[in-house]
């Protein structure tokens, strides 16, 4: 195996090696050790994301030690080129601007140019993950801290120059725009496709989602509030010192 990817975009191991060797962050964190070879490290999944192909790779050094990394590149099987370009570039920009995310290397994507396929190479922190049930065992001070962090997430979103992130009807239009590609991607997944088809008519019902997002709380007697859901790039708790340092990433 000398490359990753197959859905319209692929990346050779030699290019990954070149990016790692030229990464100052990688060299700093790993003491300038010489990379002996790259080995595939993903044998349990199809390695498919929503708009990306995700590969886990082992970096083997000449001293016998190994570290896991993750490499993400675009995929063109279920979504338009333009959407892949927009979403992928936002992620790469975020990784470049936020050094604490520990992305070793990023590069832009020029469709059709094999020398620049929009890769993101980062640390694989799977072994360090600590999943927990956030609904049990929270004391008042912990709950207050979480609420204050979520408030800062909303401030971050409201300050965004991206129109559909702001609190406006524009977000609903963004949701509608994403329905078709998300539906296509979900239907193609063999494990969830048949189940998703049972509720697809509801998923595409605009009146239903408008009620859920805009009106349902009124019927319950709940006043208007700011809520936080699965907002992709906004699923972060930022270091409260104000530095660009991610403290926690929420995944629902």
Query: Which tokens sit at 67?
Result: 């570290």
> Among the listed ranges 54-63, 77-86, 186-195, 197-206, which one has the minimum average pLDDT value?
77-86
Residues 106 and 95: beta-carbon distance below 8 Å: yes
Q: Rg of the chain over CA atoms, in angstroms?
A: 21
pLDDT band at 207 (very low <50, low <70, confident <90, very high): confident
Task: Using a cut of 0.75, tell me whether the model's pTM lies above it.
Answer: no
Residues 41 and 58: beta-carbon distance below 8 Å: yes
Query: What domains does the chain contain, in order, with CATH numbers?
Result: 3-125 (3.30.200), 140-249 (no CATH)
Q: What are 217-248's pLDDT values in tens digits?
A: 888 888 876 555 554 444 444 445 545 444 44
Q: According to the model, what pLDDT value does residue 114 have?
A: 60
How far apart are the C-alpha atoms of 155 and 86, rounded to whole Å? 23
Decide which of 47 and 193 is more confident. 193
How far apart are the C-alpha atoms of 205 and 186, rounded to whole Å? 17
Average pLDDT value for residue range 20-44: 83
Residues 46 and 72: beta-carbon distance below 8 Å: no
């Amino acid at each position: 195996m000398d490359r990753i990817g197959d859905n319209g975009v692929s990346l050779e191991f030699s290019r990954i090696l070149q990016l790692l060797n030229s990464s100052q962050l990688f060299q700093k964190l790993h003491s300038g050790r010489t990379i002996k070879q790259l080995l595939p490290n993903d044998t349990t999944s199809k390695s498919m994301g929503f708009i990306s192909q995700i590969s886990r790779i082992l970096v083997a050094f000449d001293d016998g030690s190994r570290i896991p990394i993750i490499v993400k590149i675009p995929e063109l099987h279920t979504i338009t080129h333009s959407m892949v370009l927009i979403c992928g570039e936002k992620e790469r920009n975020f990784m470049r601007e936020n050094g604490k995310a520990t992305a070793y290397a990023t590069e832009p994507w020029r469709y059709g140019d094999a020398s620049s396929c929009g890769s993101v190479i980062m640390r694989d922190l799977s072994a360090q993950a600590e999943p927990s049930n956030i609904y049990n065992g929270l004391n008042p001070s912990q709950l207050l801290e979480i609420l204050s962090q979520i408030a800062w997430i909303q401030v971050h979103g409201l300050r965004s120059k991206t129109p559909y992130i702001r609190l406006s009807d524009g977000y609903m239009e963004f949701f509608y725009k994403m329905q078709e590609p998300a539906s296509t991607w979900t239907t193609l997944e063999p494990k969830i496709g048949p189940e998703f088809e049972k509720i697809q008519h509801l998923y595409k019902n605009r009146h239903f989602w408008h009620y859920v997002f805009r009106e349902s709380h009124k019927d319950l007697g709940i006043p208007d509030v700011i809520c936080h859901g699965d907002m992709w790039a906004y699923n972060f708790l930022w270091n409260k010192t104000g530095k660009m340092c991610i403290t926690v990433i929420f995944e629902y």
